[in-house]
Structure 1
């Protein structure tokens, strides 16, 4: 009987496949109709420019400048609350302290903290690095999943049950909830990973976070059985968190945050919805695809320094003959940046250091070769409306692999950072807009007369 239930619930039976054909037949819309009715697919015009859907003070993604009255592509810049990300990174590196907490303060509260404000904020987050009593046993250890994004989203939704003011959407209460989730997220991620491995027969070790350590240090410490990490490892993971913290209001998961917040729902439901968006391989899951693509490339390309052999592999990717046969070179290109992604530019400088420390110079050289060669190959094979460059996902997968982070945590690491941006945007939406987001869709189906069941 159990096998019968498993087959019904988790297998595509012939009945399901037949019904799926009906779904495909009656859901298909001719592509040229989108142009006919001037529908902005993906909420972007034909030049890739996003449709204006809101206003924000939190961050700005800049990839064009005005020259002689016309917009022209330029080197990309990312601004948090008006500050260039390059200046922010240089600032905390020069000061020799972690950046995550300082930049989180900036995004949430709109200004850079003083030394005392930063110390107080670090203490505030440190005190909140805890979970309700028995939560690890009753929630995290039960019904574990191989996919950590789903696992974490489930835990976030479950935290709703422990909050007596879960539905209170006042700014002070939402801020409290957001600060809790920002502090708890590394624990939900790491503990969920260990719990799944325990279910798979491995040893279980659950370490309490250290309130005196940074977010990046706590992640590495809680993840590793020996709790050890180098200063460079912590510095680069901290930088990865800062670079992924926010990226304008229009990226898919942040727009999801605005949309769901506008409905008036609670913080836990909102963040879980953003998690669902970020999980997708076209968004937060892209760095896993980059890593998997390079793993395949390292097997198929015998000489990683042979430019002709590497070029042939890249051409095979575009021709849908290699890797997942999707016709994509993962990690190349971005919806907004056409000359350079500032996050990738910053990251790259430190990736080389880490590659030397880890003895991965050959892998780094291959990534660098692909970074230079891929735009040429894409330009030869594709009609493009803008330039193509390496995005932040191109190098982040390599960094995470050198940090010995499991692939199951690549996207959750992204979420650990982006939850700060989601929180800031949720607070901004609640403060400024009291109207549910509801765009229009044009109906295409003809009106029909109802036919009684016996006459069909």
Structure 2
């Protein structure tokens, strides 16, 4: 009798495609051009990631820029800080409606989001507590799908109805994530079950910290840095894996809950939203194996062993370094790093923060030496986000979920755009390279 291992060996043999065939048929693997740029598959007005220019056919690195509806995210962050307010709700409004809100519009929108955080009656008990999951992202996806059954008009794809659904989902994500985490802690970690009602009269960052802390207490600085992380993760262009998944599924004329769930399941992957978890694992490995965190020689030598695939997970990757679009710098990483420095001082973690800074500085030269490559390497936002969440006392299993709480704003904006301006189901081509075979009768098969 064949074992599962035997079947996997058969599948591996019959599913293998010679890598040379991709070049032969001019297939853009990963929808990437030969120079690493993305294949242009759509148009958007929502977000723009600017990391290089093409000069006489060559890719030239530049300082990275991120734009929400044409507005530099650095300006969004700077003005919110200057006025002493939180910025995530303003970013959501901008992404969803395409323009900055007036003061009255922002106040009304913030109140709308706050008053929509509560889940439908009995939803928390029936859907979350009675069917907990070890993985919060898994529970988030299942909860969003279940909300279909609680919706008054789930299949109506008019812009008005989809907008209502989107705003409700944006508001409810923090509550779903917090309750899913509390259920996981209770049923799988055997800890006390502590559930708080979501606060309406506060920002999303404040509401999230209140929901996941037993005493509901937090400092203004803690709320500010979480708000910053939410602003920076809210949108990243139409081509990132999860947002493209939302466009793809939305183009098939499916419901909002199915489309947003596709984004969640994409973001869950370690090559996408789960990347900062890999960073945290790598950093724990570095801290354990490097005695002097201030030694450039010792830290650089260990980074070299990681790059050679001789340390940590054997992948040969320094997680949190490099990006598909940003070449010289990731603006999100810089903004988060600057705020992280302030929080690290408050939390007494400057020594660990300085280790992060040293790795950021040493990686490009170590990469150049080990890989013999001139490719530009910049630190991306994942490198610092996990450390920030750690300083906030947020457990690692919530890292990707916090990303989802933010990115659902971008997903919803892109779903609206697909409904309004798409019009055609997205259907790229795959060339079949399997040779034609005759059918063999059962009695002659070997």
1:58 match: 46
2:59 and 2:270 map into 1 onto residues whose CA distance is 31
For 1:177-326, list aligned pairs within 5 A.
177-199=165-187, 200-326=189-315
Alignment check: 8 A CA contact 2:368 2:374 kept:
no
With normalisation by structure 2, the TM-score equals 0.98
How much does 1:278 deviate? Answer: 0.3
Question: Is there any run of 5+ residues in structure 2 with no aligned partner, and where?
Answer: none
- Does 1:154 pair with 2:142? yes
Alignment check: 8 A CA contact 2:234 2:408 kept:
yes
1:335 match: 324
How much does 1:68 deviate? Answer: 7.7
For 1:282-431, list aligned pairs within 5 A.
282-384=271-373, 386-431=375-420
How much does 1:69 deviate? Answer: 8.6
What per-residue deviation string (whole Å, max 9, x for no partner) do you get for residues 209-268 of structure 1?
111110000100110001100000000000000000000100000000100000110010
Alignment check: 8 A CA contact 1:81 1:110 kept:
yes
How much does 1:142 deviate? Answer: 2.0
State the number of aligned residues. 444
How much does 1:194 deviate? Answer: 0.4
How much does 1:309 deviate? Answer: 1.3
1:160 and 1:69 map into 2 onto residues whose CA distance is 48
How much does 1:72 deviate? Answer: 2.1
2:124 match: 136
The structure-2 alpha-carbon separation of the partners of 1:91 and 1:448, relative to structure 1 and needing over 3 Å to count, comes to: same
- Does 1:145 pair with 2:170? no
1:8 match: none
1:60 and 1:312 map into 2 onto residues whose CA distance is 37
- Does 1:87 pair with 2:71? no
Q: Pick the aligned partner of 2:89 from 101, 106, 109.
A: 101
2:169 and 2:409 map into 1 onto residues whose CA distance is 9
2:102 match: 114
Alignment check: 8 A CA contact 2:137 2:264 kept:
yes
The structure-2 alpha-carbon separation of the partners of 1:15 and 1:47, relative to structure 1 and needing over 3 Å to count, comes to: same
1:69 and 1:48 map into 2 onto residues whose CA distance is 13
1:86 and 1:216 map into 2 onto residues whose CA distance is 19
2:45 and 2:168 map into 1 onto residues whose CA distance is 23
How much does 1:375 deviate? Answer: 1.0
Alignment check: 8 A CA contact 1:47 1:385 kept:
no
How much does 1:323 deviate? Answer: 0.9
Alignment check: 8 A CA contact 2:344 2:391 kept:
yes
Alignment check: 8 A CA contact 1:253 1:274 kept:
yes
What per-residue deviation string (whole Å, max 9, x for no partner) do you get for residues 135-161 of structure 1?
111110123112111110011011111
2:163 match: 175
2:8 match: 20
Aligned-partner SS, 1:208: coil
**Ranges of 4+ aligned residues in structure 1 off by more than 4 Å:** 66-71
2:147 and 2:374 map into 1 onto residues whose CA distance is 45
1:115 and 1:212 map into 2 onto residues whose CA distance is 16
Q: Which stretch has the larger CA shift, 30-39 or 229-238?
A: 30-39
- Does 1:447 pair with 2:443? no
How much does 1:298 deviate? Answer: 0.5
2:424 match: 435
2:105 and 2:152 map into 1 onto residues whose CA distance is 29
Aligned-partner SS, 1:240: helix
1:10 match: none
What per-residue deviation string (whole Å, max 9, x for no partner) do you get for residues 405-447 of structure 1?
0111000000000000000000000001111101011110111
- Does 1:126 pair with 2:89? no
Aligned-partner SS, 2:3: helix
Aligned-partner SS, 1:326: coil
